[in-house]
Structure 1
Amino acid sequence: MVLADACFNITHSSFKENFEDILNESKKLGVGHFFCPAAEKKDIDKVIKFSSIYKEISCGIGIHPHHANEVDAELLMKLETLINQEDITAIGEIGLDYYRDFQQKITQQESFEEQLKLASDHKMPVFLHNREAFKDFYSILKKYFSNLPGGIVHCFTGSKDELVSFLDLGLYIGITGWVCDERRGADLNSLLKFIPKDRLIIETDAPYLIPRNLKSKTKHNINTPMNLPHIAEHIANVRGENVIEMAEYTTENFKKLFTL
């Protein structure tokens, strides 16, 4: 069984001391591919360096909505110069977040749109963040998506109507260990059956969102790609599928999205 983790936040300080151990143990457990997005300006060179060293890692360059004010002419010029490097497989993590609201909504919207323009101009897939901002997020994304080769709504936790809208656009849906939480993941579990096989991708969002139903958890309660098999098993059980078959098609979806 070969799994692909569509979100490993590799630059997080949690992985500074034991990254190699986590990567190797994850591979032993069957996780063979990792996508690592940038979130802020200082992450960009780091994710590119990791992806150039480790063949299992591909990366995204972009600015998360929490850092939307970093998107300026200089940053966009830097992204332009980097975008054609082989290991860069998406623009992301980009989008809108009205839940945390760390940046003004207009700043987030302008940042999102500028990066979508960049992805559209270079025909790059997008790695997308949407939290409690569906109306504006969908409106902006829809203007550009027909010119994009693909995209994934990372860590989807929305409603059925939102899911249908994203599927109608042709987006992949990223599901994390959020579904392993019997409290806040209940609604999402009920929606898993509506995601077609050719649109489902799985992810940990490590070090965040450690599965709540793990029998034993890591030191400091940090999530890692080693938990992806557990997440996959849970999703397969809810969908009534064989986990090995699900691993096969979700990994194939991952490869198609990121052109691997």
Structure 2
Amino acid sequence: MSAVAAGAGLDLVDIGANLAHDSFHADFEAMLERARAAGVTQIVVTGSSLASAEQALLLAQRHPGRLYATAGLHPHHAAEWSDALGARLRALAAAPELVSMGECGLDYFRNFATHDEQRRAFAAQLALAIELRKPLFLHQRDAHADFLAMLKAHRAELGDVVVHCFTDTREALNDYLALDCHIGITGWICDERRGAHLLEAVRDIPDARLLIETDAPYLLPRNAPKHLTRDLHRRNEPAFLPWVLEAVARARGQTPAEVAQHSTANARRFFGLPEPPRH
């Protein structure tokens, strides 16, 4: 079984799960129970559009102490940015369950929005995070140079920052660490076909900057047993976070307990989370 006996005794925080995704509608409560049984005690629900941010906040309010939310506009949706949308994100941020701005950043891999549109929306959200004094949940893919330049220009004014779902090069990782960023590692590290480079890069992350996440329903860990995943039609969910934990620990030469302790403490400090309810 492994993955720390499938969660026995773990206390993990999944810092990025897209639980507003419609694939979770049919079995939401059962999915949360599977996460709890796997030792995932708290989950930060990603808001990557206005609709998903509103839904993420609603889910957090329905599950106090266990779910929290972010609010941002993913670069795929950057063409939708407007002052009115920014005002709505600002309003959502007033809720105590809204613990971070983002997901925002740059994505030149898909280019669902133009580079100019992406940079405009990213700049506006950097300013919003500075104004609201909120942590920032960031996305970057195939856009490192522009992303780094924009982040560096504002880093001194920003609070805590996490580059989530990190999949880039070791050099890019160290650029972000030099800016005192946290780094979010997903099941990409469990995929020997495309994530092998992370097995070395992840060793560079200081204990105090390491965070782990599922990015559910995406990036199902390839090391998760097939009997646990076959009925989910390849959908990832927070219950599989222990398999990310196990891969990260092995790559770093640490025990899963050590990585769990550091990543959970980091997540609670980063997002300002209390200890979870024990019932």
Q: TM-score range by the shorter chain?
A: over 0.9
Q: Is the 8 A contact 1:29 1:229 kept in 2?
A: yes
2:261 to 244, 248, 251: 248
Q: How high is the TM-score relative to the length of structure 1?
A: 0.98
For the residues of structure 1 that align with 2:158 and 2:46, how far apart are their CA atoms? 18
Secondary structure in structure 1 of the residue aligned to 2:233? helix
Q: Deviations over 1:137-168 (max 9, x none)?
A: 01111122211110110010111111111011
2:59 to 23, 44, 50: 50
1:143-154 aligned within 5 A: 143-154=153-164
2:21 to 12, 16, 24: 12
1:33 to 1, 17, 42: 42
Q: Deviations over 1:207-253 (max 9, x none)?
A: 00011222212421111111101110111112111111210110000
Q: How high is the TM-score relative to the length of structure 2?
A: 0.91
Secondary structure in structure 2 of the residue aligned to 1:173? strand
1:127-206 aligned within 5 A: 127-206=137-216
Q: Which residue of 2 aligns with 1:230?
A: 243
Q: Is the 8 A contact 1:232 1:247 kept in 2?
A: yes
How many aligned residue pairs are there? 260
For the residues of structure 2 that align with 1:43 and 1:181, how far apart are their CA atoms? 28
Moved over 3 A (4+): none
One-letter amino acid matched to 2:272: T
For the residues of structure 2 that align with 1:91 and 1:139, how far apart are their CA atoms? 19
Deviation of 1:205 after TM superposition, in Å, equals 0.4
Deviation of 1:135 after TM superposition, in Å, equals 0.5
| Structure 1 unaligned residues grouped into runs of 5+ | none
Q: Is the 8 A contact 1:123 1:147 kept in 2?
A: no
One-letter amino acid matched to 2:94: N
| Structure 2 unaligned residues grouped into runs of 5+ | 1-9, 274-279
Deviation of 1:48 after TM superposition, in Å, equals 0.9
Q: Is the 8 A contact 1:41 1:70 kept in 2?
A: no
Deviation of 1:73 after TM superposition, in Å, equals 1.1
Q: Is the 8 A contact 2:213 2:241 kept in 1?
A: yes
Identity, % of aligned positions? 38
Deviation of 1:82 after TM superposition, in Å, equals 2.3
For the residues of structure 1 that align with 2:255 and 2:53, how far apart are their CA atoms? 37
For the residues of structure 2 that align with 1:136 and 1:71, how far apart are their CA atoms? 19
Deviation of 1:69 after TM superposition, in Å, equals 1.3
